[in-house]
Amino acid sequence: MATRELTGAEARPSRPRFIERFTFTERLMHWVHASAFFVLLASGLILYIPSFASAVGRRPLVKDIHFLTAVSWAGAMVLIALLGNRRALARTIREIDVFDRDDRRFLAGRVHAPQGRFNAGQKVNVIITAAFAVLFFVSGMLLWLSERNTSFHLGGTLYLHDALMYLSVIIVTGHLYLALINRSTRHALRGMTLGSVSEEWARAHHVKWVGAPSQPAGDGADALEMAPAGER
Amino acid sequence: MVEREHLPESPRENVGARRLGRAGFLGVVGAGVATLFFGSEISRVTSAVTKPFADATGLSRLVPSSGWRIYTVADTMPVFDRASWRLRIDGLVAHPLELSYDQLLALPKAEQVSTFHCVTGWIVDGVHWGGVRFADLLAAAGPLPGAHAAHFVSAEVPYDDYLALSSLKLPDVMLAYEMDGQPLVQEHGAPVRVVIPDMYGYKNVKWVERITLVAQQSAGYWEKLGYDVDAWVGGSNGYT
């Protein structure tokens, strides 16, 4: 730890400072989506995997749980988007929409390319998750409707719904690893629960969001401590 | 190292910024929507790749990615007890009768390999069935001239369905008690199910315990919910 004297505005507080990464609206959306996903995954797997289906039985009830969770999830997401902090959501969407040269380098494997509030991987995750949510909902509704009106039958509905599940499980597994296990990235979970992250961590991972360190020589050591080489 | 990479750049500049997110989102949604229409074809290709792997690793017993899904309408699946199980054949017949499982096995055995089509879009190719042709099954009961359809009642209450007697005479139609060389297992309708490959799966009644000959077909379980009585594969239920 550097022990040199600091003066005035440069003085670093002894305790880490935290900066807001996500508003309550964004966090609520995340957790509504996440909890619905796991209820839908569990009930869906019971409907899908023969050994689960015969062990649990009660298929009509499980179907109702699956369907009503999906409808409530969709309604809740729309309500949060309409009644929540729309300015913050619009800003988030704008940031996720834009990929610059550093983002493309990040996706090409150079994970230390400077990143904004969202790194390029997080942007891709949001984009795929949002697209999958739309496709899950559309294909699920088609399955529900085609049990009532056969003109809604399309040859690939079930295949799409299944394929989305397999891909989502893979993506969510990676997401959980980075959010819960991987040492250098799991601090991000604090941002999604409490809303704020430590400024030092943000500098190390999202330098284009918080700005460059004010004293590179002194802060460098801290940044390295929190983000050891080979962090991913 | 983190700092060495950051510092030479002016980090707040978004060099080469392009709005790719929306295009990516629409691209994924578009690909998914296309899958709605071509999914059957895609799944045939992908299952040709995944099935050997799934079979070799035993995954196919667990995951229905390349095979069966089990649909039921009741809270529990019927349990087969060989000693007490009986198949009733009644209605417009000269001699109503009850067959035990062993009496059923004593009838002339037929075998076939056919494709199973579910109305929801999944397909299982090359299913090996063993069972009894309906001509042999119904012969002892003696269908009366007024009988034109069979009402199949499942032990899974309230599932039932009808087939025209003319459909039962199609070459690949049977009451199956074996699947892929093994006695039918519970989730496939043990001990006996209807197999009529030219019609969607919901006409292939599982856990059959009673066959009643009647004058004409009426609406079975799924037909009451809007499905077609004559469920020809590729020619009913919205498929053309």
- In whole angstroms, give the CA distance from residue A6 to residue A221: 16
Q: Which residues does chain A have within 8 Å of residue B42's beta carbon, measured at their own beta carbons?
A: 156, 159
**The pLDDT value given to residue A160:** 93
Q: Which of A45, A49, A100, A160 to mutate to probe the B interface, most B CBs <10 Å?
A: A160
Q: Are A33 and A77 in contact, with CB atoms under 8 Å apart?
A: yes
Instruction: Characterize A146-175 residue by residue with b for buried, 16 or more Cβ atoms within 10 angstroms of its Cβ, and e for exposed.
Output: bbeebebbbbbbbbbbbbbbeebeeebeeb
CB-neighbour burial class of residue B82 (10 A; exposed 0-12, middle 13-18, buried 19+): exposed
Lowest mean pLDDT among A61-65, A130-134, A151-155, B221-225: A151-155
- In whole angstroms, give the CA distance from residue A183 to residue B132: 63
Q: Which residues does chain A have within 8 Å of residue B69's beta carbon, measured at their own beta carbons?
A: 48, 50
The helix (run of H) or strand (run of E) holding residue B50 is helix B21-57
- Higher pLDDT: A114 or A50? It is A114
Q: Are A2 and A218 in contact, with CB atoms under 8 Å apart?
A: yes
- Residue whose tokens read 């292939």: B204
- Among A96, A156, A204, beta carbon nearest to B35: A156
- pLDDT reading at A219 higher than 60: no
Q: Which residues contact B76 (CB under 8 A, 6 or more apart)?
A: A57, A58
Per-residue pLDDT of chain B (240 residues), as tens digits, is: 333 333 333 445 578 889 999 999 999 999 999 999 887 777 777 777 776 776 676 666 566 655 788 888 888 889 999 999 999 999 999 999 999 999 999 999 999 999 999 888 788 888 999 999 999 999 999 999 999 999 999 999 999 999 999 999 999 999 999 999 999 998 899 999 999 999 999 999 999 999 999 999 999 999 988 889 989 998 888 777
As given in the structure block, the two tokens for residue A130 are 């949002």
Domains in chain B: boundaries: 21-65, 74-225
CB within 8 Å of chain B, chain A residues 3-42: none
**The pLDDT value given to residue A43:** 96
* Axis-axis angle for helices B21-57, A120-146 (nearest 10): 70
- Among B21, B63, B72, beta carbon nearest to A96: B21
3-state secondary structure A142-195: HHHHHCCCHHHCCCCHHHHHHHHHHHHHHHHHHHHHHHHHCCCCCCHHHHHHCC
**The pLDDT value given to residue A221:** 40
Distances (CA, A) of A11 to A8, A203, A215, B7, B156: 6, 17, 10, 22, 76
**Residue range A200-217, pLDDT digits in tens:** 999 999 999 987 665 444
What is the DSSP-derived secondary structure letter of residue B203? G
**The pLDDT value given to residue A152:** 85
- Among A48, A54, A156, beta carbon nearest to B37: A156
> Of 3.40.50.800, 3.90.420.10, 3.40.50.10860, 1.10.357.10, which CATH number belongs to B74-225?
3.90.420.10
Domains and CATH numbers, chain A: 19-222 (1.20.950.20)
Across the interface, whether the CB atoms of A204 and B33 are under 8 A apart is answered no
Interface contacts (A, B; CB < 8 Å) = 191
- Residue whose tokens read 């697209």: A131
Q: Is the dihedral of CA B22, B27, B30, B32 positive or negative?
A: negative
3-state SS assignment for residue B117: strand
- Among A113, A123, A146, beta carbon nearest to B21: A123
Q: Please check whether residue B81 touches A, CB under 8 A.
A: no
Among B233, B228, B238, B220, residue whose Cα is nearest residue B73: B220
Distance of CA A191 to the CA centre of its chain: 11
Q: Is the peptide bond before A60 cis (omega within 30 degrees of 0)?
A: no
As given in the structure block, the two tokens for residue A85 are 């902090």
Max mean pLDDT range (A121-130, A221-230, B220-229): A121-130
Across the interface, whether the CB atoms of B1 and A224 are under 8 A apart is answered yes
**Residue range A29-42, pLDDT digits in tens:** 999 999 999 999 99
So what's the ipTM on this one? Answer: 0.83
**The pLDDT value given to residue A226:** 41
- Among B36, B62, B122, beta carbon nearest to A160: B36
- In whole angstroms, give the CA distance from residue A46 to residue A27: 29
Q: Which of B1, B6, B237 to mutate to probe the A interface, most A CBs <10 Å?
A: B6
3-state secondary structure chain A: CCCCCCCHHHCCCCCCCEEECCCHHHHHHHHHHHHHHHHHHHHHHHHHCHHHHHHHCCHHHHHHHHHHHHHHHHHHHHHHHHHCCHHHHHHHHHHHHEECHHHHHHHCCCCCCCCCCCCHHHHHHHHHHHHHHHHHHHHHHHHHHHCCCHHHCCCCHHHHHHHHHHHHHHHHHHHHHHHHHCCCCCCHHHHHHCCEEEHHHHHHHCHHHHCCCCCHHHHHHHHHHHCCCCCC
Q: Please check whether residue B72 touches A, CB under 8 A.
A: yes
pTM of the model: 0.80
3-state SS assignment for residue B184: coil
- Any idea what the Cα angle at residue B121 is, between residues B117 and B122, rounded to 5°? 60
